[in-house]
Structure formats: C-alpha cells, structure tokens
Chains A and B, each alone.
Chain A
Amino acid sequence: MAFTVDFDPENPDLTNDTDTQNEIFIQVFNSGDGELFNRLYLEDSISNFSGEPLTGADRLAFFKEFLASKPSLKAAVTHAYVAGDVALIGVDYSIETTGPDGEPLLLEGNCTDVLRRLDDGRWLMAIDRPVAATGLVAE
C-alpha cells in the first residue's frame, strides 16, 4: 500500500505534529490492515472504538474485524494540547462502512485521543474515546 506521509510501518511514529498524527491515523485506518493499525497503539493502550475499552489481543481482534471491510475514515482536528510527553487531541470523524445487514452505515462523532511519547521518542496512541453522534460507538 502507498502512504503519502512519511511513515515506517515497521516502527510507526505518530510524531509530535497534530496534522501529521491525524494524516497517518487516517491513512493507516483506510488501508484496511487491522494488524498495522494496531501498531499505532501500545500493548496496554485502551481503545473504546468498539464501544468497550479494549487492550492487547482483544483490541487487535476487533481492529482486524472492523477494518477488514475497508471502512473509509475522514477526520478533522478540533483541538490539540501537548503537555510534556503526553498529548490530548480532539477530532470530528465520519466513517463510511457496512452494517451487519449489508447496507451502508455512516458513523459520526467526536473522538478524544491521548498520545504518549515513548522513551525512544516515538509518539503512539495511549487511549481513544469516540463519542458517537450517530452509529455504533456510544458512551
């Protein structure tokens, strides 16, 4: 697959730049590769994308299943605050996917992301928390 951002799939770094973070996140999500997408998270990072807080193997299994049908993500950054080695990012997102009934499904909402800078200087996802305006991911 071709990424139009500077991105090493073997050793991903979301960087300290908010727009780069968002662009990498979108492109990896839209690649449909759940295993690759999972590498944007630390092993014990918490993703609430399924509606439940998932870590480790459960999170990987969900990402692989959810991304297998190649849903299409759009996301725009609403705010970003960096405090040392941790950052809070807000994005408005919309995802075009396919529902269980095979019909097109649109998921929209706002997502809060917490990112951490690792000892090696890379930035990765620590926590995500989508709040859906429409669709499957709820409070």
Chain B
Amino acid sequence: MSQLTDNLEKHTSLYVDAFNAGDFDTLDRFYTEEAVAVWEPGKPLTGQARREYQREFLARGPRMTAVPRQSFVTGDTALLIVDWVIETIDDAGAPERLEGVGVDVLRLGEDAVWRYAVDDPYGQG
C-alpha cells in the first residue's frame, strides 16, 4: 500500500512538472484511453476533444501548483483530492487565476503508473 501511495504522490508532482513545461505529449500519457476530463463544469470531454482542449490550454503557458489533500487507494483504483491553483491568461490576454479542489479517479496500469480516469478539477464546491 505504501508503495502505491508513494507512486500516487509522485504522480501529482510529475503531472505538474509536465503541465508547467507545456509538454502536451507527456501530459497526455497521464490519462487512460477512456479518460473523462471536466475542465469546464458540466462539460465532460473524452478522446480527441479532451486532447484538443488540453493542447489549447497549455499553449497559453499556464503555471500550476497542486497540493494533494487526501488519497484513498483500493487495489488499482484511487480517489485523489487535490487543492490546485493555475496562473494563466484569459481570452483577452489578461492574467487569470484559476483555483479549485480536484476530485480525481486514477487507475494503476500494469506498468505501475497511475493515470487519470476522471479528472474533475472543480469536483468539490
């Protein structure tokens, strides 16, 4: 269990590194093939739509900080609660600060890598 938890904490830190490097291809490997992401509340995206949204989002050079608050691991499935802040720019190019509490479901692959199955950044409150 502790090994899995270690991997899970590493997951968040590696994800943030890839995000802040604007490295879409690396970031995309943190998602399962069927992953659902909900960066705009009420608008879940999967597959190509998810990838296009994320690629565009990263193109603005956003910076993220993320602090895991709680994690629950059962077998190859985990629920991760994360406090996050993103500094980015809005459509007009002005600085914009986004923040939320992520409620994320992760799956452990056979390669011992945790990946998002559900990425719900505004999952709480």
A residues apposed to B, CB below 8 Å: 42, 44-46, 48, 53, 55, 79, 81-84, 86-88, 90, 110, 112, 114, 116, 126-127, 129, 131, 139
Contact = CB atoms under 8 A, between A and B. Distances in A.
Contacts of A131: 124
Interface string B57-73: 00000000000001011
Interface stretch (B4-12, B34-42, B84-92): B34-42
Contact of B117 (A44, A46, A84): A84
Contacts of B124: 110, 112, 131
Interface of B: 32-36, 38, 42, 44, 46, 70, 72-75, 77, 79, 81, 103, 105, 107, 117-118, 120, 123-124
Interface SS majority for chain A: strand
Contact of A48 (B46, B72, B75): B72
6 contacts: A81-B118, A84-B33, A110-B124, A112-B123, A127-B79, A129-B79
B74 A81 contact: no
Given A81-B44, A84-B34, A127 B74 contact: yes
A88 B72 contact: no
A83 B36 contact: yes
B74 A46 contact: yes
B77 A81 contact: no
Contacts of B118: 81, 83, 86-88
Contacts of B79: 112, 114, 127, 129
Which A-B residue pairs are the 8 nearest by beta carbons? A84-B34, A83-B117, A81-B36, A88-B118, A127-B79, A83-B34, A83-B36, A46-B72
Interface SS majority for chain B: strand
A45 B44 CA distance: 26
B74 A86 contact: no
Contacts of A53: 72
Given A45-B74, A83-B34, A83-B117, A114 B123 contact: no
Contacts of B107: 86
A49 B101 CA distance: 20
B35 A127 contact: no
Contacts of A83: 32, 34-36, 46, 105, 117-118
Contacts of B34: 83-84
